[in-house]
């Protein structure tokens, strides 16, 4: 089984069945040979943006994520510390955390954000 880290936008597009999610990304997430993971950082990002009124998300979003077949990737101290070693290709702290997690866990990231690839992270889109 191949593990994939699904970024926040891709996750939201998957849950909403949004056509913004590319066919390749959709296939990678749906493939039963893959284990799609969602970082705790994505839940945190969505919660912050929801509380600021920048996006709408249901009250039971964590449960919906799990029910949709995603597993959680917790943030470890090692993940957090890896962020300080990353060059500033990206200013978004949540995307920097995803890059750190992907590097440490050796995970490809399902993302439309080409800048994550600048960290040496394998991306799928």
Average pLDDT, the chain: 96
* 123 membership: H or E segment, kind and range: strand 123-124
Helix extents (H) in 6-120: 8-15, 23-30, 40-51, 61-67, 77-82, 93-105
- Domain borders along the chain are 2-124
Q: For residue 71, name the pLDDT band (cuts at 50, 70, 90).
A: very high
Please, what is the end-to-end C-alpha distance for the chain in angstroms? 19
Backbone φ and ψ for 68, nearest 5 degrees, come out as -80, 0
CATH of domain 2-124: 3.40.50.1010
Q: How far apart are CA 92 and CA 107, in angstroms?
A: 19
Identify which of 76, 65, 49 has the alpha carbon closest to the alpha carbon of residue 12.
65
State residue 91's pLDDT score: 87
State residue 81's pLDDT score: 97
pTM: 0.93
State residue 90's pLDDT score: 81
């Amino acid at each position: 089984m191949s593990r994939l880290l699904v970024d926040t936008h891709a996750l939201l597009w998957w849950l909403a069945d949004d056509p913004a999610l590319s066919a390749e990304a959709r296939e990678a997430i749906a493939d039963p040979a893959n284990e799609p993971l969602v970082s705790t950082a994505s839940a945190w990002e969505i919660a912050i943006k929801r509380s600021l009124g920048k996006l709408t998300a249901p009250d039971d979003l964590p449960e919906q994520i799990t029910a949709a077949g995603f597993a959680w990737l917790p943030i470890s101290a090692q993940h957090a510390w890896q962020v300080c070693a990353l060059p500033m290709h990206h200013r978004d702290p949540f995307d920097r955390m995803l890059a750190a997690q992907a590097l440490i866990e050796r995970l490809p990231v399902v993302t439309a954000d080409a800048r994550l690839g600048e960290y040496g992270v394998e991306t799928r889109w």
